[in-house]
Structure 1
Amino acid sequence: DEAGPVEATEHWEIHRAAPDYADQSSGNELLETGIKVIDLMCPFAKGGKVGLFGGAGVGKTVNMLELINNIATEHAGLSVFAGVGERTREGNDFYHEMAEAGVIQLESLKDSKVAMVYGQMNEPPGNRLRVALTGLTMAEYFRDEKDADGKGRDVL
């Protein structure tokens, strides 16, 4: 992205112990995605885990683009996109579509509503595996980061 080096005050390990089952959120509140077929046929539970799996060219990335845009604009939420095995061209297109939609603020990256990490198709399998763990760690960081009111963020 030619934005220069990343300056960080904290570093989190991607290999950490999982939380105890009793400590995990078990709410029954649904996340309104703004995509009617998902909200009707397969609603997402807030605090739950969701993955989009499928073959090449079936619309996973397009679906994620719509979800991220809806969460950012309608719910003021933050999203983390982990592109495991994405094509370079698709990752670049996704980045520019997010910038055009205003979800990525190129003038002030701190105000962006999405963080992206990629492990491209040409990378070794171990590198692509780390992309999923990196995305999860980023989402946990944003979830646990407290605002002025002492609340964490909602993260997709």
Structure 2
Amino acid sequence: MELINNIAKAHGGISIFGGLGEWNREGNYLYMEMKESGVINEQNLAKSKVALVYGQMNEPPRARMRVGLTAQTMAKYF
């Protein structure tokens, strides 16, 4: 979280987080922490500085594998 926050605020960059095998609670905690720090702006999503992609533990392994590929593709776009 600290690295994403520093990239967003100090350098004005955008971060992509690919959570492979995340539990709902952990993903929700990370989302709320980013929202509180201002990295995610719910009022104006265009001002948000992070994209979160999750593959949950209850999904099949191939579905979780695609999360990493999706995050990599998103990072190439930015």
TM exceeding 0.5? yes
Local SS of the residue matching 1:104? coil
Local SS of the residue matching 1:83? strand
What's the C-alpha RMSD, in Å, of the aligned pairs? Answer: 0.5
Where does residue 24 of structure 2 map in the other structure?
A: 88
Q: In the aligned structure 2, how far is the partner of 1:74 from the partner of 1:111?
A: 15
Looking at secondary structure, tell me which structure has more helix per residue.
2
Greater Cα radius of gyration, structure 1 or 2: 1
Local SS of the residue matching 1:81? strand
TM-score, normalised to structure 1, is 0.49
- Which runs of no fewer than 5 residues in structure 2 stay unpaired? none
**Any runs of at least 4 consecutive aligned residues in structure 1 with deviations exceeding 2 A, and if so which?**
none
Looking at secondary structure, tell me which structure has more strand per residue.
2
TM-score, normalised to structure 2, is 0.97
Q: Which amino acid aligns with 1:137?
A: T
Q: Which amino acid aligns with 2:41?
A: Q
1:67 aligns with 2:8: no
Relative contact order higher in (CA < 8 Å, ≥ 6 apart): 2
Where does residue 124 of structure 1 map in the other structure?
A: 60
1:103 aligns with 2:39: yes
- Which runs of no fewer than 5 residues in structure 1 stay unpaired? 1-64, 143-156
Count how many residue pairs are aligned between Structure 1 and Structure 2.
Answer: 78
Local SS of the residue matching 1:94? helix
Q: In the aligned structure 1, how far is the partner of 2:20 from the partner of 2:2?
A: 18
Q: In the aligned structure 1, how far is the partner of 2:60 from the partner of 2:40?
A: 28
Local SS of the residue matching 1:92? helix
